[in-house]
Every structure is written in structure tokens, then in C-alpha cells.
Amino acid sequence: MTFAPRPGDELTIGGVSYRVEGAPTGGMFAYAQEGRQGIVYKLSTGVAGAGSTAYALKRYDEPFRTQQLVALTQRLAGFASSPGLVVCRRVLLTPGTFDDILVLHPDLSYSALMDWVEGPTWMERVVARKPLNDDQSGVIASAVATTLAAVAKRGAAHCDVSGQNLLLPVLAARATNGRYPIEIVDVEQIYAEGWPKPDLIPRGLPGYAHRDSAKGQWGPGADRFAGALLLSEVLGWCVPGVCAAADDESYFNQREIQQACDRFRILYSALESRWGKPLAGLLDAAWRSPSLAGCPALEEWRREIVAAAGEVTPSVGTRSEPPTMKVGEAQALLADAEAAVQDGDIPAARQSYRLVANHASEGELRGSAQFRLREIERHYGAADEAATGRSPEPRSTVRVPAAGQRAPTPPRPASTAWESTAFPVSRPPRDTRLQRLAGIVLGAGLALLGALFASGDLVVRVEDQLHSLGRVAHWTTISVLMSAILGLVQTWVFRPRLSIPGRFRFGIAAAIGGLVGGLVGGLVVAAPSAEQTLAAALTGAVGGATAAYLQAMAFREPGARHHWIAWMAVTWLVSWYLAVMLTTGLQTIPATALAAGIITAGVGVGIAAFLYSARHVEF
């Protein structure tokens, strides 16, 4: 059974009692953050509140939950003493040693228990477009450079450096005295000499990937380019013009990496004017480098940053930013923003979300607002204030709870992970979401089956008309109609992640795929002594591959594009083949209804399988 804890649940691990923490927004969901390889839950020991100690429990997804994690944990322990790599110190819940918890929750086998790191990610800071001051930029950049250079000095590399893997305890709402200013997480793919190559080789994340990263970046120089861009972002974030020019979740858009572009010129000028020519020169050298190994070494970055900004130690850093917006006030703003979205008042919603993203004391509330801002910008375009860097004023109708009043109830978590109005706070486990998705599409297939049975006379008349057009036209028309239905299903599933034009493209691409596949299958059917099952397989394979190829242009991640094309080609092939094979010999009405249900349900299951196997899908 899938591990799905609730806030307040007690877990006994190795004889120690841990309490599952809830999301800051309250409700029935546990505090959970989903990453590429699994889900991280927040646990605590001791008395709730200031006296408790927080821990992170990382439950790996099934493909990564193997005994190889035992050896990996032992190897990672060698990096635990390095500054900024506290997550390398962990305990693995292995069968035989931690049976007290695994007997009750076998799904937690080979999960990792480690220290919880407070503070926002660098990606959250970029999305909020909230600048740093000079001291903050210098301290964070010096700490990042020190950590990456120390790893490189050992002939090793993190291999997946990005804004989402950089946590900032120095900017945490709660004090983190004595902690290093930064922590780097997601360390499972670290490279070191003699270590076995992981099954999933990192290829860099959008906004940080060198042109050579598509071949895979796992080697001693893997961090040089991504580290150069991350350090440049941090150093430039004390310049308002840099914040205003940022793309989305990173400063650069992946399509402009290593190209002549305005963003590079803005960042280069900011580094040169604020920190000096040597650091700007390192960025330029990395940008022009033909390979990862040709980028400047991270030790060069460390030396120049220390010379310009000073060296950092665990007890040195900027003060934690004081909370400027209480939880109740932030929840009220979120509720107002959602109401504004429902009313079509997008500028007002954008203002309220940005205030929460910039000033809320709880990181989870800030993350919710940042996610909704990205969704709004994808659907309605970037706001003027985002381009200029101006801080918006709150709506005049914001309801801030007075002293003694109860804060308004925050927006209800969505019933599915795909509702465009949902906040992505403490989402249900991935398995549950995929089961819901498959169930929804299966239900759609059954509903379509029932509708076709109910309109039997219409089906017969349409079939007669299509037969009169000839076998090729008959087969092609059915293929286009069926593919258009599949396009609607796909568009509905991905609608929160697609702009309005993108939704139309998804649907039209499916219809075009049906046309191409239908023509190929129709020519086979029209041939003497042709096998209908062969024609169906060709229709599905060609149609699915064509539709998926056109749809994949909306994906930002090249690996996800290839994954999508392969999954859809196979799914359409199998669905069409089974539909024809299982309906051969049936009368027109039941054959049409059953075939439509099989194809619709089959593609729905294929989408669920794609979402499970694709580690990250960016549009």
C-alpha cells in the first residue's frame, strides 16, 4: 500500500518516535515536496513548536528503490563533512534493521532519513523576482562557490546543479544560527572517480544546461557550466535590472543558452559594474566554451568571489529575513487572489499573489503564490510589473484579519492534481494522482461507449454514408474523428500547463495525426486481402507518432519530447490494434462503441504511464 501519511501521524523508526508535520496552510495533507526521484516528507521529534527538531524523510519512487542505495549512502557519507552538503549525512531504512517501520509501511523500504533544511530554494527567489542586497549576494555566492569548489577539488561533481537544488537557510524566515548559508540537495547522482554510473544520467535542467549536456553530464567537469550560471545569477541578483529581465524559474531561457541575447548582456554588465571585470570574464568564458570541460574551473570562481565579496564560514552570513506578512494575512490574500481569478480580474489576482510570493513568512505559502503566478503568466502572458520590476500595491479589498479574528479558510486543495485553480501544496502521492487520471479517462471511454449505444440509429446512418465514400476515405474519416477525441482528452489533462494557443495546438496536432495515420491505414485496408488488424496497428503507430511529434514542440525538456513521442506511438498502436481485433465480427453499433471505449481508455492509461516514467515535464 502506498505510504500516504496525515499530519500528526506517529512513525517509530529505529525505536525513535517521529511526528509527521502538516502543510503550513493546514488541512489534511502532510508537508510533502515532490522531486525527480521521490517525495520528501517533513518529520519532527520532541514537543511541537520551538523545542522540536525537524527531519526529512525521502521516499524514493519504485524505479529508484533498490539495494544500490545502501552502497550509495555509504559513499555519500564521505561528503557529509563538506560545507553545504549536510544531506549527504543520512540513514537508510533497510529491511532487517528498521523492521519496526517497514512492517507497517513496506513502501518506505530504502527511504532516507536526514536533516531538514529550512529556507527557500534559489528557484523560488528567481520566480518572485525579489532582489538581494549586496551583502546577501556576496555571502550566498561565496558559500555556493566554496561548496562546489570543494567537491571539484576531490575530483567529484554534483552533476545536477540548478536553482531548484540550492536551498538558502540564510534567507529562512526562522533563525538558522550556526548553519551554513546554503545547502545543495538531490545528491544521488554525484560523480566521483570509481563510482558506478547511475541508470539515469543527468542532462542538465532548463536554464542551466550547456549545449553538450544533451549527451549526459556525469564527470569531473559536469558542474562547471551550470555552476557558472548559478553563481552569476546570485551575484547579479542585487541589481534590479537583472531581476526584472529574468525568464521564469531561472534567469536564462534554455533556448538562448550560449547565444547572443539581451539577458547575457544585462547580466555581464551587472557583474562587471558591481563585482569587477574578472568575474564578468569568467561568465563570458563559460558562455563561449565549446564543452563542459572547457569552462573555467570552480576554484577560479571561488577565488574571484572571495576577493570581491569575502569568505564565508558557517557562523557568518546575512541575518535571516524577518517575516513581513503573517500567515493569516497571506491566506487572506491568497483567497482574494483566487476569487479575482474566478471573476476574471487577472491584474488584481497577480498583485495579491506577488505580495504573498515576496513577503509571506511561510515558505509553503510563498511557493503556492509563485506557482499560481507562473500559471497566470502561461495563460495570460507576463505582467507589466514583472517586466519592470515594480512592486505592486495590494488590492483595496484585501481582507486582513483583525486582532482576535480567525483567519479566512485558505483555498481548498484540488480534488485532482490537474485543476488549474489548485495550489500545489502537499499534493497526494504520485501513484494516487495517476490512478485518478487513469480512472477519469477510463470513465470517459465508458461514457462514450454508452453514448454511442444510445444513439444507435445515428451511428448506422453515419457508417452507411462513410462506406459510400470508399474504403480509404471511410477509414481516414473514422481515424480523424477518433483522434480528435483523443486530442481533447490530452488537452484536458495538460490544460494547466498549456497556454490557450498551446491547447489548440495539442488538439489540432491529434487530428492531423489521425489524418496521416488514417490515410496510411486506409491504403492498407483498400489493398486486396488486407488484414484490418495490420491497418489498425499502422494507423495507431503513424497517427500517434505524428500527433506526438507536433505536440512535443510545447515541451521545454528535449528528453521529455522523445519520451512523449515514444509513449504515444506505442499507446496508439496497441489501442487501435486491440480495438479492431476485439470488435471484429460484431455488429456496427457495439463494434463502434467498444472500439471507441478501448482506444480512449488505452490512451488514458498511456498518459498515466508517461507521467509516471517521465521524471520532469516542462512546457
pLDDT (average), residues 463-472: 62
User: What are the contacts of 372-381 at 24+ separation with CB within 8 A?
Assistant: 372/337, 372/423, 373/127, 374/127, 374/248, 374/249, 375/420, 375/496, 376/341, 376/346, 376/349, 376/350, 377/248, 378/497, 378/498, 378/499, 378/619, 379/420, 379/499, 379/500, 380/346
Mean pLDDT of the chain: 77
SS3 for 518-552 is: HHHHHHHHHCCCCCHHHHHHHHHHHHHHHHHHHHH
Assigned domain for 4 exists: no
The reply to whether 65 and 133 lie within a common domain is no
Residue at which a domain ends, from 411, 445, 474:
411
> In CATH, what number is assigned to the domain containing residue 300?
1.10.510.10
Please report the DSSP string for 169-236 in residue order: GGG-SS--TTS-S-EE---TT-B-TTPPPPSS-----TTT--GGGGG---STTTTHHHHHHHHHHHHH
Candidate ranges 43-57, 376-390, 489-503; pick with highest mean pLDDT: 43-57
Return d(Cα 295, Cα 225) in angstroms, integer.
6
Taking 60 as the threshold, does the pLDDT of residue 287 lie above it?
A: yes
The reply to whether 291 and 329 lie within a common domain is no
Residue 57 and residue 102 in contact, taking contact as beta carbons nearer than 8 Å: no
Assigned domain for 514 exists: yes
Taking 90 as the threshold, does the pLDDT of residue 140 lie above it?
A: yes
The reply to whether 77 and 149 lie within a common domain is no
Return d(Cα 495, Cα 502) in angstroms, integer.
9
Return d(Cα 544, Cα 486) in angstroms, integer.
10
Assigned domain for 110 exists: yes
Structural domain total, the chain? 4
The reply to whether 268 and 379 lie within a common domain is no
Q: How confident is the model at residue 113 (pLDDT cuts 50, 70, 90)?
A: very high
Q: What pLDDT does 387 receive?
A: 35
Q: What pLDDT does 258 receive?
A: 94
List the beta strands (DSSP E) in 274-375: none
Assigned domain for 423 exists: no
Assigned domain for 567 exists: yes
Least confident of 250-259, 264-273, 418-427, 585-594: 418-427
Please give the grid coordinates belonging to residue 43.
Answer: 518529520
Residue at which a domain ends, from 115, 141, 174:
115
The reply to whether 601 and 458 lie within a common domain is yes
Taking 60 as the threshold, does the pLDDT of residue 365 lie above it?
A: yes
Taking 50 as the threshold, does the pLDDT of residue 189 lie above it?
A: yes
pLDDT (average), residues 287-302: 94
pLDDT (average), residues 252-278: 94
The reply to whether 305 and 166 lie within a common domain is yes
DSSP state, 419? -
Give, rounded to a whole angstrom, the gap between the first and last alpha carbons of the chain: 32
Q: How confident is the model at residue 411 (pLDDT cuts 50, 70, 90)?
A: very low
Count CA within 13 A, CB hemisphere, residue 424.
Answer: 18
Full residue range of the structural domain in which residue 159 is found:
122-309
3-state secondary structure of 95: coil
Taking 50 as the threshold, does the pLDDT of residue 619 lie above it?
A: no
Assigned domain for 421 exists: no
The reply to whether 543 and 598 lie within a common domain is yes
Least confident of 87-91, 128-132, 545-549, 584-588: 584-588
Percent share of the chain, pLDDT over 90? 33
The reply to whether 286 and 327 lie within a common domain is no
Residue 413 and residue 422 in contact, taking contact as beta carbons nearer than 8 Å: yes
Please give the grid coordinates belonging to residue 216.
Answer: 549526459
Q: How confident is the model at residue 63 (pLDDT cuts 50, 70, 90)?
A: confident
Q: What pLDDT does 418 receive?
A: 27
